[in-house]
Structure 1
Amino acid sequence: MVSIRTAAPALLLILAGCVSGPDHKPPEMPLPAKFSEGGTKVNGDIAGSQWWTAFGDSRLNAFAAQGLAQNLNIQQSLEAINQAEAAVVTAGAGGLPSLTVSGDHTTSGQKGSLRTQTETQNSTGGTASVSWLLDLWGQYRRAREGANASLDAAYSSVDIARLTYLQDLATSYVNARYYQALVAIAQENLKSRRDTLSLTKFQLEAGAASRLDVVQAEGLVNSTLSTIPGFEISYRQAVHHIATLLNVPSSTIIAQMQGGGKQPVFRGSVRTGVPADLIRNRPDIRRAERQLAAATAEIGVAEAKLLPSITLSGAISPSYIHTSARSGGLTSWSFGPSLNLPIFDGGALRAGVKSAESASREQYIVWQQTVRSAIEDVENNLSAVTRDAQTVAALHAQVKSYQEALQLSTASYKDGASSLLDVLDAQRNVTAAQQSLAQAVQTSANDYILLNVNIGAGYVPAGKTTVAEAPAKIVKVSAKKAN
């Protein structure tokens, strides 16, 4: 027959291996084998891809590297990692023994004219208390598991902050160069329109033009002058935002951007991979998966609270008393287990389990939605990038045609074969075409930026996170089902 003294430790070891609640499993969902306008080639790890270097702009390259080390949003998210690391320690601390030590010393006595005065007495004592809640059902193991998942999510949040920074910086830089281009276009056209005004005034003196022609030419000059301040304001705003992203004074960036510069132009293609690549490369999807893991662990924590708990506790309190007549010490101690058995709590603990289960299901839905939104983002940007070049090429041709038309109409006006209105219309057409071309180049660059961001490229990982090896199944969706 096995004695209780022998069986008890074995039983505790068996119970110590129990963990309440479900284990987290990598979420799965059917995904198409390819993007609608993409290929079937799988992408590798593209987190370190410096896609912004494709613009061939050394200033942008320098800004990108500078901001990754100085951006305040990134620094703020890094602090969240420190907090999450501390939370891991806190979560597991409840399942470990705790020891508290205290000490005291008192001096007491009575003095006065009465004969009953008491001699001085010195008392010194101390207490050492130890307590250990046996984690029989894995409550604190689940809590630590959830805290580790939240730590992984914090690392992914840093990656998201870096990706957001790169998108914001590159877009702001493209926009700043765009407004610089608009200012240059306006100044170039202003010169042309002033030349036309001078020609019209000369022809007025020669009797070949009317006062109306002069007024109309002056109006177009003033119209051009009125647009420049607005472009300069927008340019300054973009530069100020770059300074904020880099955490430096605006004057520093203004000095570096002076003299203008060509609009960033991307020529080439982007390897988008397949939808399943997003689950590995997109930090927001990884964060959603880790948040799901943390929510799943909370189910185990809630279920463990429904079960009995055993706490081993003990204390030892030595003391020493000294007077002029006597002295001596006394030590008291205690040790024993205590059992906590939840019987009736008004349903609060079971409601906690239901709440944790619902939170886990919610996080699974969030993960699904994050994946679906990521696929939509890539599909949209891929469609744009593949067509932007056609728009830019057509507008280049349009600008060239309108510039030739302006030359012809100006020559014809000088010869008296056409009216001033033909020249003014041609100048308006040139300006509109040049501005449309600059906008198309800006749109093309921004679409390229968004496509790279949406496939999860270039953020330089903050640290290694726990990612499922096969978090989603690749399922080829037929055209019939897709419709």
Structure 2
Amino acid sequence: MASPSVWGPETADVPSRTVAGTIDPTWWRSFNDPELVSLVDRLVAQNLDLQTAAERIIQGRAQRQVAAAQGLPQISEQSSYLHERQSPTGFISLVQPAPYAPLGYDIWQNGLSSSWELDLFGKVRRSVESANAELQASVENRRGIALSSLAELAQNYLQLRGVQTQIGVAETNLALADQNNRLVHTRFANGVANTLDLAQAQSQLATVAASLPTLRTQEAALINAIGLLLAEPPRALDAELRMPAALPAVPPVVPVGVPGSLVRRRPDVREAEARLHAATAQTGVAVADFYPDVSLTGAVNADGRIIADAFSLPSRAFQLGPQISIPLFRGGQLRGELRLRKSQQREAALDFQKTVLQAWQDVDNALTAYAEAQRRHREIADAARQNAVALDAARQRYQQGVADFLNVISSQAQLLQSQNDLATSDTEIDTDLVALYRALGGGWEAAEEKATRAPTGSGDQASR
């Protein structure tokens, strides 16, 4: 597929610019937040989704071993003991047995049998190729889960710090509303304010206080969400994360690479490519089913009426020769299987194309969102400054008796809203940057060194 030559126009009028350059695989460190770095380190080691995906890799390796074993000689050993008694009125009644001949006797058997499919037409080789591709798809799936988990953790952490900033804003405004309430009570006691001013002041104080429970609920939910990603029980991280901290600042320059390299970084694209490879190999298996299966078979065994005969050379017997199985008539089964595999291959190719297009779209949308969030932040910050000036002026005019208390309430409500908008905008910029890194496919490398390895057993077990 033809990729775009460059991303959209580079942003120059925002504090944090995106430029073409090598993407930082440890992008969470660019926030300069030690707590975030610590959480990511624990996520890589503790996340249950990553451990589940690692088990699927182990399963893929086992499946590959199963497929590869079909092309190797198969050897098995059989030993048996049988005690048999003939019926005197059955078949033996047709002959004259020797006097006192026993009707019961023992049979001991011991032998080896082997077979080896020669795979002249590549059926086993294509099956192994498909298993290898499925294994690679499992590896890429784990990388995709690592990327998603890292991004989700970072976004939850940044949203937590944003909510805690909003809690601080609400508490500051609550203190200011309390000051206004005391001011109105003082003026009311001196006969300057009226009951309307008193009711408005108390209503403002209650309104600001009512916003805190909702924010604290969001704070608790985000802490628990982070704990779930780290496989921790609820409230396990309260002591660590409940203490408010400033929202991390974004770096001034963000390298975003070039579009052509995106398909090699995004795990979902690489997984779709591996699925296409597996479907193509399965088509090869279906083609090979039309050709004869040729195998070499052999057997060596010995049997006798006493156990010693089952292990003696004079009692040996053997057979050796090739076997050829030619599919002459299957009722259309082979043609149907081939059509199925070819359709699945075409479906996988279409899915790969869609995944690539989606990846480019994700990056383009994230770039736009990151730039526009910074432009919006600039306007909100200016509005917050002006609302702070307006509130100071309204308070002074009320204290001087030239304006009513409604102007103070209105000005403080606007200031509270703009301060909340500013905190939300700061959070949005940070989370948009995380979304951009996620779209670019960077960060899954951190989980590679923690990948679970398959447990090993004895050599005999491995060979079987």
Same fold (TM over 0.5): yes
Question: Counterpart amino acid of 2:71?
Answer: G
Deviation at 1:118, TM superposition (A): 3.6
How far residue 337 of structure 1 moved from its aligned partner, in angstroms, is: 1.9
1:30-61 Cα distance to aligned partner (Å, 9 max, x none): 111011224998655x4x62111121111111
Supply the distance in 2 between the matched residues of 1:212 and 1:86 (Cα, whole angstroms).
78
Q: Any idea what the Cα deviations from partners look like across 1:363-394, whole Å, max 9, x if unmatched?
A: 11111111111111111111122232222232
Correspondence list, 1:328-367, <5 A:
330-367=315-352
Shift of 1:155: 1.1
CA distance in 2 between partners of 1:238 and 1:391 (Å): 25
Write the deviation string for residues 62-95 of structure 1: whole angstroms up to 9, x where unpaired.
0011101110001111111100101111112222
Structure-1 residue corresponding to 2:69: 93
Aligned residue in 2 for 1:457 = 442
Letter paired with 2:437:
N
Alignment of structure 1 residues 290-301 onto 2, 5 Å:
290-301=274-285
After alignment, is 427-436 or 347-356 more displaced?
A: 347-356
Q: 1:473 aligns to what? A: none
8 Å CA contact 2:44–2:447 kept in 1: the answer is no
Aligned partner of 1:53 in structure 2 is 29
1:302 aligns with 2:286: yes
Distance 1:370 1:38, change over 3 A: farther
Separation in 2 of the partners of 1:349 and 1:243? Answer: 52
Q: Which residue of 2 aligns with 1:69?
A: 45
Alignment check: 8 A CA contact 2:44 2:446 kept: no
Q: Does residue 188 of structure 1 match 2:172?
A: yes
Judged with a 3 Å threshold, the aligned counterparts in structure 2 of structure 1 residues 452 and 231 are, in CA distance, closer, same or farther, namely same
- Map Cα deviations across residues 413-466 of structure 1 (whole Å, 9 max, x no partner): 1111111011001110110000000110111001100111111111116669xx
- Give the match's secondary structure for 2:315: strand
Shift of 1:116: 4.9
**Match in the other structure for 1:158:** 142
For this pair of structures, how many residues does the alignment match? 428
Matched AA of 1:74: L
Change (3 A) 1:279 1:131: same
Structure 2 gap ranges (5+): 12-17, 87-98, 450-464
What is residue 403 of structure 1 aligned with on the other side?
A: 388
Secondary structure of the residue that 2:236 maps to in structure 1? helix
Residue in 1 that maps onto 2:5: 33
Moved more, 359-368 or 116-125: 116-125
- 1:222 is matched with which residue: 206, 212, 231? 206
Higher mean C-alpha displacement, 66-75 vs 337-346: 337-346
**Residue equivalent to 1:25:** none
The 8 Å contact of residues 121 and 322 in structure 1, kept in 2 or not, is answered as no
For residues 252 and 448 of structure 2, what CA distance do their matches in structure 1 show?
A: 31
Residues 1:414 and 2:399 aligned together: yes
> Residue 240 of structure 2: which of 242, 248, 256 is its match?
256
- Residue 389 (1) aligns with residue 343 (2): no
For 2:338 and 2:307, the matched residues in 1 are separated by 60
Match of 2:75, as an amino acid? L
Which deviates more from structure 2 when the two are superposed, residues 193-202 or residues 99-108? 99-108
Q: Cα distance 1:141–1:350, how it changes in 2: closer, same or farther (>3 A)?
A: same
Gaps of 5+ in 1: 1-28, 465-483
Structure 2 counterpart SS, 1:265 = coil
Helix, strand or coil at the partner of 1:250: coil
The structure-2 alpha-carbon separation of the partners of 1:119 and 1:298, relative to structure 1 and needing over 3 Å to count, comes to: closer
Moved more, 393-402 or 374-383: 393-402
Letter in 2 for 1:195: Q
Which of 216, 231, 236 matches 2:220? 236
Q: Is structure 2 residue 78 aligned with structure 1 residue 102?
A: yes
> 2:19, 2:254 within 8 Å by CA — same for their partners in 1?
no
Is the CA contact (8 Å cut-off) linking 1:200 and 1:217 kept in structure 2?
Answer: yes
Residue pair 1:302, 1:349 contacting (<8 A) in 2 also: yes
Residue 303 (structure 2) aligns with:
319
Shift of 1:244: 0.6
Contact 1:37 1:379 in 2 (8 A): no
1:366/1:273 CA distance change after superposition, 3 Å:
same
Secondary structure of 1:62's aligned partner? helix
Match of 2:231 among 242, 247, 265: 247
Normalising by structure 1, we get a TM-score of 0.84
Alignment of 1:3-18 (within 5 A): none
Deviations 1:171-223 (A, max 9, x none): 10011111111111111101111111111112122222211111111111111
Deviations along 1:322-353, whole A, 9 cap, x unmatched?
399xx985222222222211122121111111
Instruction: Provide closer, same or farther for how the CA distance between residues 462 and 351 of structure 1 changes in structure 2, counting only shifts above 3 A.
Output: farther
Letter in 1 for 2:64: V
| Percent identity between the two aligned chains | 29
Give the 3-state SS of the residue equivalent to 1:95 in structure 2.
Answer: coil
Task: Note the C-alpha offset of 1:124.
Answer: 2.6
Q: What is the root-mean-square deviation in Å for CA atoms of aligned residues?
A: 2.4
Cα gap change, 1:229 to 1:432, in 2 (>3 Å): same
CA contact (8 A) 1:295 1:360 kept: yes
Tell whether the 8 Å contact from 2:181 to 2:202 is kept in structure 1 after alignment. Answer: yes
- Worse-matched range after superposition: 244-253 or 297-306: 244-253
Q: Matches of 1:399 and 1:202 in 2, distance apart?
A: 29
CA distance in 1, matches of 2:181, 2:166: 22
Give the match for residue 273 of structure 2. Answer: 289
What TM-score, normalized by structure 2, do the two folds share? 0.87
Alignment-derived partner of residue 83 in structure 1: 59
Q: Distance in 1 between matches of 2:396 and 2:435?
A: 45
Q: Are 1:311 and 1:338, in contact at CA under 8 Å, matched by a contact in 2?
A: yes
Q: Which residue matches 1:470?
A: none
Aligned residue in 1 for 2:255: 271
